[in-house]
Chain A
C-alpha cells in the first residue's frame, strides 16, 4: 500500500527567509503524481504545486519549488522569501496515475512565519 510520511510536525521560518518542508512516500508504482497542499486556519485546502513522476525537471510556482528525488522517494517543498501569509498547515499528497483516483495525504507540517 502507498504511504506518505511528513516527519516534521512543525517548522518555523523568519519572514523573507527560505524554508524546506520534507516528504517521503512509498509506492511500487512507476508513474504517479505528487502534490503539496496548503491549509490555512480557514480550513480550505489549496493546491500549491504538483509534480508528475515521469518528469525529471522539478516543478516551480513562483516562490514555491520542489526537490523531487524519485529513487529516494523524496519530495520536499522549498518556500523562498517567506511571507506571513504562508503560515499554514502543509500537506504532501500522492496519487497513482492509473487504477485509482484515491489521494493519499501525509499528516502535515505546521509552518510558522516569524515577523
Chain B
C-alpha cells in the first residue's frame, strides 16, 4: 500500500480481555516501531523490530504486552488481561534503509478499556 495502515482504527474492550492490534508497514520497510500515546502526551516507545526480530523491547511496560512480526512485514501488538490504564492510541511506524531511518507513521488504533 501507499502508507502504513493500522487495524482496527478503534477498539473498545472490557477490562480483563485480550486484544490484538495490527500494523501493515510500507512494503519493503525492514524497521517497524510501536508506540503508545496517552491523552495529552507524546508517543511513548514500546518496541522496535528490525526484520522479524525485536531489536529493542525495552519500552514494553510489563509482560501483558507482546508483539510479533513473524514474516518481517505485518506486526501484531498483543495485550493480555487489559486494564483501564491501557487505554490510549497505539501508533505504528515503519522505516526503510538510510540513517537515520525516517519513520512513516500509521493513523493509530484508539484502544478504550471499559
Q: Which range contains the number of A residues in contact with the other chain? A: 20 to 34
Determine whether the beta carbon of A105 is less than 8 Å from that of B100: no
Q: Identify which of residues 55-114 in chain B touch chain A, using a CB-to-CB cut-off of 8 Å.
A: 55-56, 58-59, 89, 91, 93, 99-103, 105-108
A10 to chain B, nearest CB (A): 11
Q: Which range contains the number of B residues in contact with the other chain? A: 20 to 34
In the complex, the number of residue pairs spanning A and B with C-beta atoms less than 8 Å apart equals 59
Tell me, in angstroms, the Cα distance from A46 to B104 when the chains sit together: 7
Determine whether the beta carbon of B93 is less than 8 Å from that of A95: no
Contacts of B33 in A (CB 8 A): 101, 103
Beyond A102-B48, A103-B45, whether A33 also contacts B105 by CB under 8 A is: no
Q: Does A43 contact B (CB under 8 A)?
A: yes
The closest CB in chain A to the CB of B93 belongs to A45
The closest CB in chain A to the CB of B44 belongs to A105
Extra inter-chain contacts (11) besides given A45-B105, A95-B100, A108-B41, CB under 8 Å: A42-B107, A44-B108, A45-B93, A47-B103, A97-B100, A100-B58, A101-B31, A101-B56, A101-B100, A104-B45, A107-B40
A interface residues (Cβ-Cβ under 8 A, vs B): 4, 6, 33, 42-47, 50, 91, 93, 95, 97, 100-108
